[in-house]
Amino acid sequence: MPGVAPLPFAPQAVVFDMDGLMLDSERAINACMARAARELGHDLPDALWLAMVGRGEAVCRAMLAGRVGEDAADALLARSGALYDAVAAAGIDHRPGIVELLRLLVARGIPRAVATSTRRPLAIAKLRAAGLLDYFDAVCTSSDVARPKPAPDVYLLAAERLGVEPARCLVLEDSPTGVRAALAAGMTPVQVPDMLAPDEEVRALGHRIVASLAEAQRLLEARLAEQA
């Protein structure tokens, strides 16, 4: 992985984002939002859905309300939510490499948590439908904290529930919002971009960026090999 710095330590825990990192759900969410907007007669740009990636429900609602008004935003979110619930219940596809990485961590006895901006009932349902829930020692959601990403709250809660100092946690994220949350928590993030390519502002944060979960796994394996 030329140009990607080795991990500075062997992590005592790994904390995962969910949507766009483990599950190929960002495309599904965006498609449901776009479909709901069309059904309700709104002409909204695709860039709006991309701008919502990695953000909490309240932020997304405010972004929509600024475009279509409060009542129309609520109606659009209700319709898109119903569409998305049906997709999630059927099981959302994994992002490539996630199962292999989780199996490695289980085999090495490294604790694992989810830290997601999704609310708890939907997060649990999505992880269960995708067959991933049992890999995790803790699932932390936006329902469990006062402030969503990019605030550090959900990551700090994950560290607390795992009983590991934030500085000893590795974070895997796809979105800039999540990377900022991990950095604010004092953790070491590795970004695996999905729909949003890192721009100059994001790269200036100085974190590690890799092309796939397989590359993230190789970074981790190299550090574990050094420790051994």
Q: Read off φ and ψ for residue 14, nearest 5 degrees.
A: -125, 130
- Annotated catalytic residue 194: no
Consecutive H or E run containing 15: strand 13-16
The tokens of 190 are what?
């590795």
Note whether 63 and 51 are within 8 A (CB).
yes
Among candidate residues 19, 24, 144, 153, the one labeled active-site is: 19
Exposure class string for 177-210: b at 16+ Cβ within 10 A, else e:
bbbbbbbbbebbbbbbbbbbebeeebeeeebbbb
CA distance 169 to 182: 9
Cβ neighbours of 171 (radius 10 Å): 29
Active-site residue, selected from the candidate residues 17, 144, 153, 194: 17
Among 207, 166, 161, CA closest to 187: 166
d(CA 156, CA 145): 10
- Answer yes or no: 19 catalytic: yes
Q: Which residues are tagged catalytic?
A: 17, 19
